[in-house]
Amino acid sequence: MLIKCPECQEAISSDVEKCPKCGVDVEKKILISEAVKQEQILKAIAGFINVIAIIFSIYLFGLDSQQYGMFSNNIYYLYPLIFAFISSIYFAYKLKSNNEQAKQKYIEANKL
């Protein structure tokens, strides 16, 4: 499918990564214009969750070590990190689908 290049407005294929005419990163350009705000928000939430999970895990790890010493068999301090891992995957998936939607929206609007 042919679309307008977001930079030089020339007709290009929707599958190309870079515009053969002006050389701009098509996908990036589309996203800057369409999904940048959403991406910033998602990244902020995911980053915040990760930081909190890391701090909480370190705290729990310390607490466990303090209470049960070197040979503790507990692993509950891993849970916040596992939660952070799963939530990161969710956010990454969300980013991906947002990007795809934005691209689709641009293609729909700019197809020739």
Partner 1 sequence: MKLIRLFVFITLFVTGVVANEQTQSDKSYLQYFKSEPTHCYVNYDSILKNPTKYKALLSSIDGRTGRTIIDVYEKGLSGAINYNQVPKQFIFKNNDCINENIPTITELENLAKSYKIDTETIKKYNAETSNINQQLKDLENKYLSEDAEFTQVGDKKYLTTASYLLACLTFNETIVDIKKSLELNRIVLKDGYTIYPNNSVTTTETTVETVETGQIIPASSVILTKDEEVTKKYTTIKIDSISEYLSNNVILYIWEFRAKFDKLLLKMKTSLFLLILPFTLGLMGLTKITKKISKINDFDDIAEKGVMSFVLIFMFYFTNGHFTDNNKDDIRLSTFQNTAGLLFQKSIKFADETANIFSTSYINFKRRNAGFLTEKEVKNLIIEEMKNKKELESLEYVVNNCPVQWNTYRLKSFFELADNQSFPNRFQLTKWLQKGGTNAISQFYKTEQEPILTLQICGQVERRVRVLNKEIDKIDKKLKEVANAMKMSEDKKQLFKIAKIQYHTVAEQGFLAIPQVAVTNIVTDNLNMFGAKTNEKSELKEYQKQSSTDDNLDGSNTSGVFESIFPKLAYMMLPGADSIKKVLTIDKIDNIPLLGNFLSRIPFFKEAVNGIGLAITIIMMKNLVIYFPVIALSMASLMIITWYFISVFIYFLISPFLIVYAGSQQQTEVIKSFITRGIALAFKPILIVLSVVVTILAISLIKDLATIIFDKNFNLMIDLVRTESNYGLVLFFLFLQGVLTVGTMVISLFTAFYLVFSGAEMFLSILGFKETGVDIKETVGNSIENRTGKYNTPGA
Which residues in this chain contact partner 1 in the complex, by CB under 8 A? 39, 43, 46-47, 50-51, 53-54, 57-59, 61-63, 65-66, 69-71, 75, 77-78, 81-82, 84-85, 88-89, 91-93, 95-96, 99
Which helix H or strand E contains 12, and what residues bound it?
Answer: strand 11-13
When the beta carbons of 14 and 88 are compared against partner 1, the nearer one is: 88
Considering the complex, what minimum distance in angstroms separates the CB of residue 37 from partner 1?
15
When the beta carbons of 95 and 107 are compared against partner 1, the nearer one is: 95
Query: Residue 23 — φ and ψ, nearest 5°?
Result: 80, 10
Q: Residues with Cβ < 8 Å from 9, sequence gap 6 or more?
A: none
When the beta carbons of 24 and 95 are compared against partner 1, the nearer one is: 95
Report the Cα 46 to chain-centroid distance in Å: 8
Hey, what amino acid is at 14? S
When the beta carbons of 21 and 93 are compared against partner 1, the nearer one is: 93
Distance between CA atoms of residues 99 and 89, nearest Å: 15
Considering the complex, what minimum distance in angstroms separates the CB of residue 18 from partner 1?
16
